[in-house]
Structure 1
Amino acid sequence: MAQKKIAMDISTKANYIVITFTGDLEYGVIEDIKKDLQALKLETKHGYIIDMQKVTNIDSTGFGMIVNFAKKVSVNEKKIAIIVVDDFILNLFAISQCDKIFPIAKSEDEAKQIIKEGWSGELSLSEY
């Protein structure tokens, strides 16, 4: 069985930051990524785009990491949009109900528009 891997890349744009994950956001492989994400300086005008186009699997630990990051971001009144294009990953977002608290976009342009204009989900972070 192949060793599971995860990588995180952070790129700063004019008014937002893109955090790109590659691999499996799962228990046992995300500990270092989780620490790096929590240590991130929150210096952006509009917010964050989490790009999950290269994510192959996510479990409750991965969703927890994203929710905790979102809580940290929301304290500073910044927004998050998540790019998901894979049907399997979209289904996991639906099962976990994370699609009710995070806006899901199909592209960076769509995500950029969401964090600029705002989005209201069916659930708030505090209700989740």
Structure 2
Amino acid sequence: MHAEYAFAVRFRLDPDYEVRVDPQRFETRMQRVADDPGEPGWLFFRDNLWRGDIGDPVHFRELTEDALGVPIEHVEYRAFETDTEYYDALREEIGAHLDRFKADSTPEVLNKYFGSSVEVQN
């Protein structure tokens, strides 16, 4: 069972002292392992995503700066990449806790937070 959140990150290097770097800006892909459904941290999507976008870009950029240790210019959510086993467990856990999402169904929750960005691989 495995799942990851994928993000596009643009950051810059601001070296100290009397050195320069070229280029100063870089783009990379950042992946965050998703916690197992029901475990602490499994609600990462609810707390950070909205309709397939980052809900609070400024806050998430700050979190990314802390995680990577470089000044972040931009972070964009790209996809939730998962296998079938994880996705089934996630849907089951969401369905058991619809009140946490103020929703009537699991598909409504998935659409509300992920939009169309879920990629299930067998």
**TM, length-normalised to structure 1:** 0.34
Q: Which has the higher contact order (CA 8 A, sep 6+)?
A: 2
Q: Structure 2 length normalisation: TM-score? A: 0.35
